[in-house]
Amino acid sequence: MKFLLLLHFFLLPEVLCESPQKIRLENSYGASLDEFSTELARNRLASLRKGHGNLKNWLHRRSYLRKKVVSELGADFTRPVTRPAPFISRTLLRTGYKIQNLAFRTPEGQILTGNLYSPLTDGKKPGILSPPDHADVGRFDPDLQIRCATLARMGALVFTWDMLGWGESLGEHENNEAKGTQLRNSLAALDFLLSLEDVDPARIGFCASSGGAIQGLLLNAVDERIHATALVSMISSLSMGHCACETQGFHYREEDFFTDNSELSALSAPRPLLLISNGEDWTRKFPELGAQLVEDVYKLYSSSATFESVHLAGEGHDFGVTKRRLVYNFFQKHLNLKSTIDQGQETGEDVETLRILPKQTLKVFENQDLRYQYFGAESH
């Protein structure tokens, strides 16, 4: 079964060799089965950087890349900006914040299921999108609950929602359409966040890790309503992902064209961007393979100070407390949030009063009958 699954993901493979001992397979979209060789990644980055020699050249490249993402992943900007009336099944009052379990229909017919974490304060507030990591536990993950609740206590409205086909979301997660569907879902999530009366549209953020960071990478590439973005344990020139929802649907390489996630992350410029890498996954070489390309693009705008790259050589593939603390400080600076120190702990995470909630408490629908009763038939 595993062998058949790999055949499905990686059709028409091309062998890429760093040496006789290191063989990697590239799928028909130009993404690798495992990791590209360091030599190949370095050579490609050097070639890409030659095309970024001045701002005029970069703006031409930027326009081309954006149009390519939009066209290949179906992010049609003639789509209406929606102001959905969400179905709210439960409101949970917590210490310093509240959680609403809610769902709404996207323009494409998908039902987004998620949780909105809100501070118990008046006035306009920053809004932050924070989808879950690429893991079965999804938005019910304790680490995700901690970061959403802490950001809410810092003064932001935080929305997290299910990946396609996981959690309470219907649909097929591992196919060629998933990447485009998740980008359209991200656009709908952004529309929803901006439809909230107490959200400040000039202070919108995005943070996620792993497969969730891919969603932020793509959303940030095509929509400038995101003001500040933090992507954790994902951006690399060695690998574009490890699931069909990450590697299919967008051609990283075809004929004389190629790109990678490092260059796509530079589409954020000159908006604030934080990229966090670690020493144990495919981001382990990001300081030497990718970071300099992004830094060079930001310098073209004379705004290199808004790009931050932090490498945690002793850490692994997660969104743990060290990484979360960096993200809190980043949003405090760029979204004008309250300091985490105001919450009385070095990390800003008062886990005892946050209290991790079970999946059943955070679910939107108790059963499928309730889902159908409110939304009827669903396109998925």
User: What is the predicted pLDDT for the residue at 369?
Assistant: 77
Q: In this predicted model, what pLDDT tens digit does every residue of 264-288 receive, in sequence order? A: 999 999 999 999 999 999 999 999 9
Domains of the chain: 2-53 (no CATH), 124-160+172-359 (3.40.50.1820)
For 172, other C-beta atoms within 10 Å of its C-beta total: 14
Confidence of residue 302 (pLDDT cuts 50, 70, 90): confident
User: What is the predicted pLDDT for the residue at 378?
Assistant: 67
* Burial of residue 302 (number of CB atoms within 10 Å: 0-12, 13-18, 19+): exposed
User: What is the predicted pLDDT for the residue at 363?
Assistant: 96
Angle at 368 between CA 362 and CA 374, to 5 degrees: 85
Angle at 330 between CA 325 and CA 334, to 5 degrees: 150
Q: In this predicted model, what pLDDT tens digit does every residue of 95-142 receive, in sequence order? A: 999 999 999 999 888 899 999 999 999 999 999 999 998 888 899 999
User: What is the predicted pLDDT for the residue at 229?
Assistant: 98
Answer yes or no: are the C-beta atoms of 232 and 276 closer than 8 Å. Answer: yes
User: What is the predicted pLDDT for the residue at 20?
Assistant: 34
Amino acid at 222: V
Confidence of residue 348 (pLDDT cuts 50, 70, 90): low
> Largest alpha-carbon pair distance within the chain?
63
Answer yes or no: are the C-beta atoms of 198 and 267 closer than 8 Å. Answer: no
Q: In this predicted model, what pLDDT tens digit does every residue of 179-197 receive, in sequence order? A: 999 999 999 999 999 999 9
The first and second tokens of residue 242, run together, are 């490890």
> pTM value?
0.90
Answer yes or no: are the C-beta atoms of 282 and 41 closer than 8 Å. Answer: no
Calculate Rg over the CA atoms of the chain.
20
DSSP 132-185: PPSSTTGGG-HHHHHHHHHHHHTT-EEEEEPPTTSTT--S-SSSTTHHHHHHHH
Mean pLDDT of 218-229: 96
Residue whose C-alpha is closest to residue 365's, from 106, 104, 84, 89: 89
Query: What is d(CA 258, CA 239) in angstroms, rounded to the nearest whole number?
Result: 13
Mean pLDDT of 243-262: 90
Query: Measuring CA to CA, how many Å separate 240 from each of 260, 315, 332?
Result: 7, 20, 30
Helix boundaries (H) for the chain: 2-9, 38-50, 55-73, 142-153, 178-195, 210-222, 244-247, 261-265, 291-300, 321-334, 351-354, 359-362, 368-375
Residue labelled with tokens 């709210």: 88
Which of the 8 DSSP states describes residue 369? Answer: H
User: What is the predicted pLDDT for the residue at 35?
Assistant: 86
